[in-house]
Amino acid sequence: MTRIIALPGDGIGPEIMASARRLLDQIGGFEIDERLVGGASIDDSGSPLTDEVLEACRDADAVLLAAVGGPKWDTTDPNAPRPEQGLLGLRKGLGLYANLRPVRPSPALLDASPLKRDRIEGTDLLVVRELTGGVYFGDRGRRDDSAYDTTVYSTEEIERIAEVGFRFARERVTSVDKANILETSRLWREVVEGVAKKHPDKQLDHLLVDNAAMQLVSRPASFDVILTENMFGDILSDEAAMLTGSIGMLPSASVGEPGTPGLFEPVHGSAPDIAGSGKANPLAMFGSVAMMLRYGLGRQDEAAAVESAVDRALADGLRTADLGGDANLEDATNAVLSNL
């Protein structure tokens, strides 16, 4: 029996997690242990992530998270706990250094993208972003009337994220850097080329980040895996996300070493303005379940079945409010489950 820790969290989180649990029940073979995280955990224990919950996650096969955060826990007190610290604590505590963001527009939604249909048709790419290094984690501060943020990468950090990129690539890895300017990018390029030699069945090409940003909107269907460092990946994955037309459709995964549990979650956040209304779109949550099956559990056929069920529901006309329709959470859940 595969053991899943379910973390509903805040806002619309409990609603979309209930839909995800229905999906998992229909697939079968899962033992689901539901725990608190984020604001819900702060209300219960004063901590956004307790040691007990973190330990349970470490012992699981995978962790499925819905959403954390909301205005209830907003504060200017730097010492007060914040829901987002629960997510950061999970990433650190589980050793999750790779963020995976797939971009595969559903055929039924090609006209919902801000780009023309002929530009995005056939797009099926994966952004692999390094998650625990770079400028976001470097030394920073202020000195007199200036400020500084330091970008540091080690060979080991680059090697392990490059291995993830090549592991999940079908045919080609496009490594994105700024090697014409930055010394960290020059090291990045050297190390990635070394890793590529261990994967002779995969192609490697390099793009400077500014060129990659342009190519992503001019020829997105030409990409397979985009491999990049933390800040570049943060920006490019959000740019790529808009190819699908709605943030309500986007799943993501954070993974570490093979054999350790990954964290799977939708990108859209807790949407507190519609919490409890039944209007939430569960499709990104279903996409996160598919990512868990594919990248976390190695159950490729079941992942494809979930994605196919979502595509067929959309092809049959399913549209939630964020997609311009009037289907509610229950409608969307039933439509997907009936196609599974």
322 is catalytic: no
String of DSSP letters for 12-29: THHHHHHHHHHHHHHH--
* Residue among 316, 334, 317 at smallest CA distance from 278: 334
Q: Rounded CA gap, 298 and 134, in Å?
A: 29
User: Bridge partners of 103?
Assistant: 125
Strands (E), the chain: 2-9, 30-34, 62-67, 98-103, 125-130, 140-143, 146-149, 172-177, 203-208, 225-228, 251-255, 263-266
Contact 297, 288 (CB under 8 A): no
Q: Rounded CA gap, 46 and 214, in Å?
A: 45
Query: Which residue among 33, 61, 136, 224 is the active-site one?
Result: 136
Q: Rounded CA gap, 222 and 218, in Å?
A: 10
Which helix (H) or strand (E) is 95 found in, with range? Answer: none
Dihedral sign for Cα atoms in the order 35, 37, 43, 48: positive
234 is catalytic: yes
Query: Which residue among 178, 202, 295, 322 is the active-site one?
Result: 178
Q: Rounded CA gap, 8 and 15, in Å?
A: 8
Q: Rounded CA gap, 97 and 160, in Å?
A: 9
User: Which tokens go with 187?
Assistant: 């090291």
Contact 190, 91 (CB under 8 A): no
92 is catalytic: no
Query: Which residue among 234, 279, 295, 322 is the active-site one?
Result: 234
Distances in whole angstroms, Cα of residue 141 to Cα of each of 229, 232, 253: 21, 21, 31
Identify the three-state secondary structure at position 273.
coil
Query: Which residue among 74, 210, 273, 316 is the active-site one?
Result: 210
Residue corresponding to tokens 């329709």: 325
For 142, list phi and psi in degrees, rounded to 5. -130, 145
For 147, list phi and psi in degrees, rounded to 5. -130, 155
Q: Rounded CA gap, 129 and 229, in Å?
A: 6
Give catalytic residues, as residue numbers.
136, 178, 210, 234, 238
